[in-house]
Amino acid sequence: MDRLVLGAVLGLALAGVGIFWWQGRAQVEEAAPPPLPEPTETTAEDELPQADPADLTGPAPPQATELTREQRRFFRYDRNRDLKITRNEMLSTRTRAFRKLDKDGNNLLTFEEWAVTTVDKFEGADADGDRTLTQAEFATTAPKRKKKPRCAC
């Protein structure tokens, strides 16, 4: 009980000291001198430099390389750009397949339902069993594209 009373008294004392310090600080700032006015004259150092853009040349812009569809897909998974997809990189982007992975159809996807399918897909693509996917191994995980009919007759 004594500690509780002592803590309350010390808390009030610290609050009082803070208020007095704050008020004293405000009075000091009220009596502070005003800032010095900015000089209005412009000198040669203050003027902006002038240059003729026709005489300027810079470095050539970098060349953009065209990536194939499979390379773009590979680099979406390969976050650290080491040309290998680890299991964690593969699992991190698989959340879009939620409805396909819901095995019991209750619109609730447990982590186990999601991870089992993704790990099975990863292990099926990892041909050499080194727990990383090369670009060739990753190409086997591409979704099968359905051909669209030319017309809806």
Q: How far is the C-alpha of 125 from the C-alpha of 101, rounded, in Å?
A: 18
Q: What is the pLDDT of residues 56-77, one digit of tens each?
A: 777 888 787 788 888 888 888 8
Which amino acid belongs to residue 45?
E
Pseudo-torsion of CA 21, 25, 27, 29, nearest 10°? 180
The list of the chain residues with pLDDT below 50 reads none
Best CA proximity match to 121, nearest among 106, 149, 105, 141 = 141
**pLDDT at position 84:** 92
Domain 69-139 classification at class level: mainly alpha
Residue 95, pLDDT score: 56
Name the amino acid, one letter, at 8: A
- Domain positions in the chain: 69-139
Query: What is the pLDDT at residue 60?
Result: 83
Determine the pLDDT at residue 42. 63
- Report the distance separating Cα 83 and Cα 92, nearest Å: 16
pLDDT score for 32:
65
Report how far residue 84's alpha carbon sits from residue 138's, in angstroms, rounded to the nearest whole number.
Answer: 9
User: Given the structure tokens 């990383």, which residue do they identify?
Assistant: 132
- 138 and 77 in contact (C-beta within 8 Å)? yes
